[in-house]
Structure formats: structure tokens, C-alpha cells
A and B are shown apart, each in its own frame.
Chain A
């Protein structure tokens, strides 16, 4: 079964660091981009950025550049979304999804989502 499994919910304080993960299985991890999507409470989906584990190509939308780091460890089929200093405004639900290397087929498999709460 093709799936993306995300790490569990996190509760952090402002200024703390955090890394959440997204592990793929059932497919060739290096042939699909991994996309990260944010949803704040009561708001729509926001496309944050993408990484191609095959060659570590990374694209991050301007509003998130400098705010998050995207990476992957292809030896364990896992992608990461990381913050060095969390803000309360990072409180949200984060999804990962896969996109075929040639861009065809949309975001066809999604992780279950990781809730991040940042509160003092």
C-alpha cells in the first residue's frame, strides 16, 4: 500500500525548534516530489514548498522562505519540515503529499497531517 505517514502532534513554546517528518512507503521515494501544505484553523490550504528527494532540489514559496527548512533522508524514505525558532503564528495543521517527478497526476497521496501548537 502506498502511504505517507507523518509524525505525531507537537506542543511547543515560542522560540523552540521543531522537526516534523513524513515517511513514504510502498513506492519509489526518490521518484516523487514531497510537498508540504499548511492549514491554519478555519483557513484554507497553503502550499509551502516542495523537495525532490532524488537530487535534493527544493522550492519554497516566498512567504515561507527563511521561516522553514525542508529536507529529506532518502535512505529512510523520510522528508522533514523544520523550524529553528517557532512562533505562535506557526500553530497549524501540516500535511505532506507526493507529486510524481514529471508533475503529472496531481498530489495523489497525502499524509494524515501533523498538528503543531505553539503556545507559551
Chain B
């Protein structure tokens, strides 16, 4: 199975800061990567698919980039409602695999 290594495991930033989370795949996955936001007590939410395509309804401050093995989720201006854990998930093949998660705090 493809391993997804996500970093950092947690971060603390201020409102308005630019936040970057990275995900590295153990082998090339093209652009087949998604990012998810998970808040306690709620279902995970798809933010970005195919590396950089914003899911409908997701604020424009979220963006994704990368290809092959290295991917990035960027929050351009952190907002209080962005406090959550973020996961990458490779869509390249089965079994799909999540990164370990990044907890974002303010």
C-alpha cells in the first residue's frame, strides 16, 4: 500500500497567518490526492480533490498544489473556524491511504 507521510503533526498559528501542510507519498500518485478537514463531532469534509480542485462551497483561502509524490495544502489567511485536523488521502489506487493528520490550532 502507498504510504502517505504528512507534516507537521500539529501547528499553532495566529488569525491571518498563512499555513502550509505537506503530504509525501511513498510512490508517485500523479495528481490523485485530496485534502479533508475534520472537526470534532462532525463528519470529515472534502476540501480539495485532484491536488488543486476546490470542492464546491469551500472558501478560496484554501488551495492545493503538487504532483507526483509531494503535495501541499495552504490556508492563505487562517480563520478561527479553520481550527481542525487536516488529512490528505491518496486517490491513486486501492487501498486508499490517509496521512496521519495535522492538527491546526490558533
Contacts and interface: CB of A to CB of B under 8 A. Distances in A.
Contact of B49 (A45, A49, A105): A105
Nearest to A46: B98
Q: Which label, helix, strand, loop or mixed, suits the secondary structure of the A interface?
A: strand
Given A44-B100, A50-B94, A61-B95, A104 B44 contact: no
Given A49-B95, A59-B94, A44 B87 contact: yes
Contacts, number: 65
B1 interface: yes
B96 A95 contact: no
A26 interface: no
Contact of A112 (B43, B49, B94, B98): B43
Question: Interface residue tally of chain B, by bracket?
Answer: 20 to 34
Nearest to B101: A44
Contacts of B91: 99, 103, 106
A62 interface: yes
- Chain A, interface size: which category? 20 to 34
B5 interface: no
A24 interface: no
Interface of A: 35, 37, 44-47, 49-50, 59-62, 95, 97, 99, 103-108, 110-113
Contact of A61 (B1, B36, B85): B1
Contacts of A108: 46, 49, 55
A5 B48 CA distance: 23
